[in-house]
Every structure is written in structure tokens, then in C-alpha cells.
Amino acid sequence: MTKTPDWVKNAVFYQIFPDRFAKSPATVKGQWQASNYEGWDATPTLQGYKGGNLWGVIDKLDYLEDLGINAIYFTPIFQSASNHRYHTHDYYQVDPILGGNVAFDALLKAAHSKNIKVVLDGVFNHASRGFYFFNDILENGPYSPWLDWFKIHGWPLSAYDGDKPANYDGWIDNRALPEFNHDNPQVKEYIMQIAEYWLYQGIDGWRLDVPNEVDTPGFWQEFRDRVKAVNPEAYIVGEIWGDASQWLDGTQFDGVMNYRFTEATIAFAGGENYNPEYCQGELKPYPPISGTEYAIKIESLLMQYDWEIQLTQLNLLDSHDTPRMLTTVGEDKDSFMLSTVLLMTFPGAPSIFYGDEVALPGGKDPDSRRVFPQPEQWDVEVLRDHKKLIALRHQYPALRTGKYKTLYATEHLYVFARMLDEEEVIVAVNISSEQATGSFPVKELKFKPSNPVYGSGRLTWHDDAREMLEIAVPARSSVIVA
């Protein structure tokens, strides 16, 4: 029987790109201080550093707690020669710019004191040219003792000259990211021990970068066994953009980044406001779809995986790998907030990309990775609504683990219920520029909720048995009834 971490089912995640979220002076002596940073508020570049650090995150924990966040997913934090840190140099050292292992230990203690879980990004498909074992090959060529840690095809190694073909395997042919040879038992053991080490340090789980690229038989099954042996409640979530069935069989991951939910939700709630120029990679939330089509896509998605897995999917509207949703819909706040309502009421753990809650815009990378804005730049209405929706999710267990049932769907109006024991919550979303109304039988609900707790709209139960529901939702808005 599949078992996934209970805490994830009750989590609201906040994704942090450490270089851009917050920075604060080091609180301990001996911390290296880099000096060549881009201006904090300057337009971000692909290679420039802003100097965000974990001391800054510690300073922001009160803000996150007030928002209602109880889990953080960090993009990579280990020593690296890139601002995004997907080019790992040392898996046992937190990057000195971030404050090193001392800062991370302080962060873990501070976060856990507020009951905030911490999940790290595990980049285990590839390392970097600066990774010790590969660097030895660069220095010693065919005499290196570490040749079988990677997939080398010729000499001399062409690690930097773009005019020559790379003669070793790199992720998506990027010579800066040499791929591990996972068939080498030493490599596999090395990665397993990294995973165990940071769990022993106190992290609460791993987000796995491009795990579909690792095709060594049994690798992720052993990874799960080793991780769960250290902490049975550790979360394992994979970056899989499409059908994740082969990884969500109960023997590997607890969930994946649910981009299939993202795609359908933006196509419905974003509709014609979505600019197809922002379609990127495997994520294509275009063309627009109706409420009826959305219902079909969502029902199909919910039937695809075991319910225990559905409750620990990581649901999102955008991430460091996509343009920010607010920008993709022409900064139409209605589209953005209708999508957020659907995010916060869907089975699985919702994840907010840092700054979305204050309406931070951003196009394609690196623009999507802007710094977290100053308070005077926040959209206070968007922040207020995020707080309300997160609070409702925490207040009503049905919104976290209750069964999901579509009640009614037309071109512009989508209505569904979340049901858990004696608790029932109805959610209605109207994407039309005019008021939408519907009248339909509802036999699945026993307690007939009628108290609006978010948004505006009219809900009326008809007939003696109260099995006919009439609902009216104003233009471009939503209502949640409990």
C-alpha cells in the first residue's frame, strides 16, 4: 500500500530562489563576503549574482509564517559557480555566498521552531566542471582515477571550447553539466550518502531535478528506501513535466511538480489573456479551454494516480523554470487570482513561487527570477487574498484531504466540491466578463453548505430535499462556500 508523508498533505509551500529572495549581513565571524554583485534592484542577468543569502531568509521567516507558509522548497543551495546553483561543486557544502553550512544550520533550527519544513533541491543527474571528481579529469586526462564517474568519449577533453564538439555526456548537451555515470556503483552510493547526510542534518525532503534522465534500473527505488530509512516522513518530489505514472507507483516518489495541473488551470482561468509567446518547454497552457474542458482534464488527472499520491503532489502556477503567471496573462489580476483560488483548493500541496503573493511580474528567464520587492512595491490586495485563501486551506481539512467532485461545468463557470466526513466546501469560478448563473442537481452533498467564506456570489438550495442548487457568480470572480 502506498504511503506518503502526512505533513505534505497539510502543507503550503513557498519556493525560494536563494540569490533573489533576501539578504542580510552574516551573523558569525569568518564568513566570506563577495563584493562584485549586481545592484539588488537592477534587471537580473543570466550570470550575475544579487547576493541573496540564508541569513536573509531567516529574517523573513516571520513574514512567511504570517502568510501561512509551513514548508519551503529551496532551489539548489550547494557550492556552485552559478547564481542558480544547478552547477554543483560540492554537495556537502552550502555555498559561501549563502552563508555556508553555519547559516543553513541556523535556518533549519529557526524554520523548525516555527513548524516550517525545509525541502532541498537534489541535482543528482549531473554535476559541474568544478565538481572535484570531474575537475580531476580536466587536470589529468586519461590518467585520472575518476574516469568511470562520467561518460567520456575522447581526448583531449573539450570542456570549454564551443567550436569543438563536447566529447563527454552533458545534460542537454551542455558541457558545463557533465552527467554522472549512474551505472557506476560508487556514483550511486555517493548520491545515496548525500541524500542521507542532509536528512541527518534535519532537512524534511528532496525535490529531484530532472530525475527522468536517470535510467539506471532500481536507482530511484533504492533512493526511496534509503531516504525513508532515515526519515519515513521525508518528502520525495520529482521534477516530471508530463505523465509521471512510472515514477508514482509507490516505490519511488511521493509526488511530482504538477505541471499538468498548471497547464490546465492557466488555460482555463487565464483564457484569452494568456500570451502564447510565453509557452516554454513542455508547459503549454494554450489555447484557452472552457470550464467543461477543464473539468474533463482535471477529472482525468485525478484518476491517473493513487489518491494517496494525489494528496502529496506539488501544485504550482509557475516556478523558476517558467515565466511568472502574472506576466503571461498580461498582468490581468483576475486571471491570476482565479488560478490561485483553483490552486489553493485542489488536492495536493500548493506551492507559491516567491513574490507571486505580492504580484511580482517576470517574463522568461532570467526575468522570472527578479528580486523580492520592497513593501512599497507590493500589491496589497493580491497579498490580502493570498492570506485569506491560505488561511481557509488551513481552516478546512476538506480543502486539504477531502474528496474532489465536479458539480457543474459550462463554458465559463466551473463548480466543484471538497468533501471530508461532515465537512463540505463548494468552490465556483467564473471566467466570463459577465455574471454566470447555473442551476443543477447536487446529490453528492449531505450537509448543503451555504455560508460564503471567500469572494462574492449567491448560492440558493431549492426543493424540499435541497438537492437543486442555484448559483450566481459575478463577472471574473469566484466564491467559496462552507
- CB-based contact 215:247 (threshold 8 Å): no
Q: Are residues 436 and 353 in the same domain?
A: no
pLDDT, residue 155, reads 93
Please report whether residue 57 resides in a domain. Answer: yes
Which portions of the chain are predicted below pLDDT 50? Answer: none
pLDDT, residue 35, reads 84
Please report whether residue 112 resides in a domain. Answer: yes
Q: Are residues 375 and 405 in the same domain?
A: no
Last residue of a domain, one of 359, 379, 397: 397
Q: Are residues 393 and 404 in the same domain?
A: no
Q: Find the CATH number of the domain harbouring 444.
A: 2.60.40.1180
Q: Are residues 23 and 38 in the same domain?
A: yes
- For 96-126, the pLDDT digits (tens) are 999 999 999 999 999 999 999 999 999 999 9
User: Look-up: residue for cell 550547494?
Assistant: 78
Please report whether residue 233 resides in a domain. Answer: yes
Please report whether residue 1 resides in a domain. Answer: no
Domain extent at residue 409 = 400-481
User: Look-up: residue for cell 527522468?
Assistant: 212
pLDDT, residue 426, reads 98
Q: Are residues 310 and 341 in the same domain?
A: yes
Please report whether residue 111 resides in a domain. Answer: yes
Q: Are residues 330 and 466 in the same domain?
A: no
Please report whether residue 387 resides in a domain. Answer: yes
Q: Find the CATH number of the domain harbouring 219.
A: 3.20.20.80
Half-sphere exposure of 203 (CA within 13 A, CB side): 22
Q: Are residues 158 and 302 in the same domain?
A: yes
Last residue of a domain, one of 397, 430, 448: 397
Count how many domains the chain has. Answer: 2
Please report whether residue 180 resides in a domain. Answer: yes
Cβ partners under 8 Å of residue 319, min gap 6: 15, 257, 351, 353
Q: Are residues 71 and 195 in the same domain?
A: yes
Q: Are residues 462 and 370 in the same domain?
A: no
Q: Are residues 194 and 286 in the same domain?
A: yes
pLDDT, residue 26, reads 76
Q: Are residues 370 and 409 in the same domain?
A: no
**pTM exceeds cut of 0.95:** yes
Please report whether residue 384 resides in a domain. Answer: yes
| Active site members | 209, 239
pLDDT, residue 465, reads 72
Q: Are residues 188 and 301 in the same domain?
A: yes
Last residue of a domain, one of 356, 375, 397: 397
